[in-house]
Amino acid sequence: TGSLCALFTILKNISAKDILIAQDASRKNSILSNLNQVLFAGEPKQCDFNLLMELDDNVSTARNQRLSFIMSCSNVSTLVGLLGTFAGLSITIGSIGNLLSSPSDVGGDNASNTLNMIVTMVASLSEPLKGMNTAFVSSIYGVVCAILLTSQSVFVRSSYSLVSTEIKKLKIISNRSNNKQRSLRVESETLVEFKELFKAFFDNYLTVENLRTQDEEKKRVMLSDSFVTLQNRLLDNSAKLEQLSTLIDGYLVSNNENTKKLVDGVITITSRLSEGNTLLADNNARLEAMSTIQNIIDKKNDSIMTSVDKCYQESLSHGKTINDIAAGSADISHTLDGLRKEMDEDMNNVHLALSDLSATDKKIIANTKEISA
């Protein structure tokens, strides 16, 4: 709507400029409020200064209204792009939140649940990508529309300036005509000096106006070149977006292949875990058997230690008896000394055997711990 208004206004201003230059009273123009039919109706064509002032006011009012409408359209397009950006971001954030909040039902030995979870996650990635696409497209749309409307507002302002320039020229011509029709009067030196100053001011004004027109023409050319450059950049960005779309498609294809490989790996790992569980069950059974054997060995060790303690107590009692008998007979004492030495050797052998048995038990316990680990 803003672009159509700008184009319509530029065409109307060009038509109004042609009417003012040709002083045509037959044509109608909404920019001039059809005042040209009144201004240029007489013969010879003389313009009323008051009508020219009213025409200038009408043109200024129309210029302000049209420029305000075009800039409002530019602001609305920017706002639409901003709202689209927020909408795309909200879609992206909502889809990511749904993806993160979805429950996971993966079991320890069930590969189908894992596959379903992976497929669901890959399928859920399309929603965030759609949201980001909406955000980028709406932002580009808003910015491009705002730039186009702003550039068109510059052209509209320039076209109004051309119309205003023609109206000012008509004012000057009308003022000169009115001055020629005045009666002769005695002019003072001050008035003559004032006329010369006014003429110099008018010449300077025309020079400045010509320079301003040339400067506006240069700016218009520069703006046109900038607009062409912007179009080229937009075309380049479109090509880059197509390349990005191709890369995303390739990424999705490779992602699907990687997903299939991952599913195959998960199935292999699940089978290996099942085999490991079987081996662990066998090891647990062996550990239970070895624990039973260890309990039997401990019981035997306890019985042996009890027997040894009992033998040791009996040897002590026998030694006491032998000592009592030794007090009565030296020969018996000598014999008993020999027996005592033999018993000591037997006891040492028994203790050595017990030490070996304890070492063997420790080795068995260590092996049991290693198997458990």
Does 231 map to a domain? no
Number of domains in the chain: 2
Mean pLDDT of 208-226: 80
Which residues are within 8 A (CB) of 168 and not within 5 positions of it... i.e. 6 or more apart? 56, 209
Does 198 map to a domain? no
Q: Does position 84 have pLDDT exceeding 50, yes or no?
A: yes
Q: Does position 244 have pLDDT exceeding 50, yes or no?
A: yes
Are 302 and 168 within one domain? no
Q: Does position 131 have pLDDT exceeding 80, yes or no?
A: no
Q: Does position 198 have pLDDT exceeding 80, yes or no?
A: no
Q: Choose one of 150, 180, 210: the last residue of a domain.
A: 180
Mean pLDDT of 243-261: 78
Name the more confident of 17 and 80. Answer: 80
Mean pLDDT of 126-152: 80
Alpha-carbon distance 87 to 84, whole Å? Answer: 5
Does 234 map to a domain? no
Q: Choose one of 161, 180, 199: the last residue of a domain.
A: 180
Does 16 map to a domain? yes
Q: For residue 27, give the DSSP letter.
A: S
Position 108 scores a pLDDT of 46
Position 328 scores a pLDDT of 61
With pLDDT > 90 as the criterion, what percentage of the chain qualifies? 0
Select from 255, 256, 261 the least CA-distant residue to 269: 261
Mean pLDDT of 287-300: 80
Q: Does position 76 have pLDDT exceeding 80, yes or no?
A: yes
Q: Does position 263 have pLDDT exceeding 70, yes or no?
A: yes
Does 162 map to a domain? yes
Position 310 scores a pLDDT of 80
Alpha-carbon distance 144 to 151, whole Å? Answer: 11
Asked if 48 and 177 touch (Cβ cutoff 8 Å), the reply is no
Are 8 and 140 within one domain? yes
Does 147 map to a domain? yes
Q: Choose one of 180, 214, 231: the last residue of a domain.
A: 180
Q: How confident is the model at residue 326 (pLDDT cuts 50, 70, 90)?
A: low
Position 114 scores a pLDDT of 67
Are 301 and 174 within one domain? no
Asked if 47 and 170 touch (Cβ cutoff 8 Å), the reply is yes
Position 134 scores a pLDDT of 78
Are 27 and 175 within one domain? yes
Position 336 scores a pLDDT of 63
Position 38 scores a pLDDT of 65
Residue 215 CA, distance from chain mean position:
44
Position 136 scores a pLDDT of 80
Position 251 scores a pLDDT of 74
Asked if 145 and 74 touch (Cβ cutoff 8 Å), the reply is yes
Q: How confident is the model at residue 103 (pLDDT cuts 50, 70, 90)?
A: low
Does 256 map to a domain? no
Does 210 map to a domain? no
Mean pLDDT of the chain: 74
Select from 131, 122, 129, 133 the least CA-distant residue to 99: 122
Position 184 scores a pLDDT of 41
Mean pLDDT of 209-232: 79
Are 176 and 296 within one domain? no
Mean pLDDT of 273-302: 79
Distances (CA, A) of 22 to 25, 36, 194, 234, 332: 9, 11, 33, 42, 166
Position 262 scores a pLDDT of 78
Q: How confident is the model at residue 25 (pLDDT cuts 50, 70, 90)?
A: low
Q: Does position 249 have pLDDT exceeding 70, yes or no?
A: yes
Position 186 scores a pLDDT of 45
Lowest mean pLDDT among 45-49, 209-213, 214-218, 345-349: 45-49
Q: Which domain holds residue 322?
A: 291-372
pLDDT tens-digit profile of 28-56? 766 666 666 666 666 545 566 677 777 77
